[in-house]
Amino acid sequence: MTKTARSPHKSDVDACLLEWTSREMQLVRLHEEILSKREALLNCSLAYSQSQFSQTLSEANSLEHALVRNHKLLQDIKLAKNEAELSLNMSPTPRFMTLQKNYWSMVKSQVPMWEQDHGIRPGSTDRFTPRDSTARSKTPRTPQTPIDPDIAAQIISKSPSGVQPKKLQKKKQHDARLKASLQKK
């Protein structure tokens, strides 16, 4: 009797043992899967943290370079500002004074020709320069109205044998000289 009782009991144990073994194998496979996923995630997070660290270092390095560059630029700007202030406060050089004197003498010599060419007013000796604001002409200026090109064309067509009014003749001469000087350049 004992033999028959043990046999069914042995088969129950074998069945339980077989079931537990299969379950343990499933758990071992699942554990290995979890470990491999954990290792992959650890590798990814390690790579990510290393890239973040290198990126932070490069940003810190570029920030430091930018700060140095900006500081140097600010110093250069301050230096240039100081030099400009000094040069503005200095008296003009003799060369500059000579150039200025030559410029105004040239302007004074050219103004009468320009006024005559444009018919503004006859050449007078009183001239206005920016340095001498009190040297204005004592005679009041009468404004001249500009010649309308259509009216000028009518006057020219009515004038006998191509004789032109003096102002128009001078304007044409001036325009011709101006055109010739521009063509030379």
Please state, in angstroms and rounded to a whole number, the distance separating the CA atoms of residues 166 and 117: 10
pLDDT value at position 118?
Answer: 83
Pairwise CA distance, residues 127 & 111, whole Å: 9
Helices (H) and strands (E) in the chain, counts: 4, 0
Among 120, 98, 100, 97, which Cα is nearest to 108's?
Answer: 100
The pair phi, psi for residue 132, each rounded to 5°, is -125, 90
So what's the pLDDT on residue 140? 47
State the pLDDT at residue 185.
61
pLDDT at 128 (0 to 100) = 52
Sign of CA dihedral 87, 91, 92, 95: negative
CA pair distance 17, 72, nearest whole angstrom: 81
CA-CA distance, 116 to 109, in Å (whole number)?
12
Q: How confident is the model at residue 37 (pLDDT cuts 50, 70, 90)?
A: very high
Q: Where are the domains of the chain?
A: 109-120+163-185
Residue 153 pLDDT > 70: no
Name the band, by pLDDT with cuts 50, 70 and 90, for residue 178.
confident
- Between 126 and 175, the more confident residue is 175
Mean pLDDT across 106-131: 72
Question: For residue 6, what are its two tokens?
Answer: 């043990």
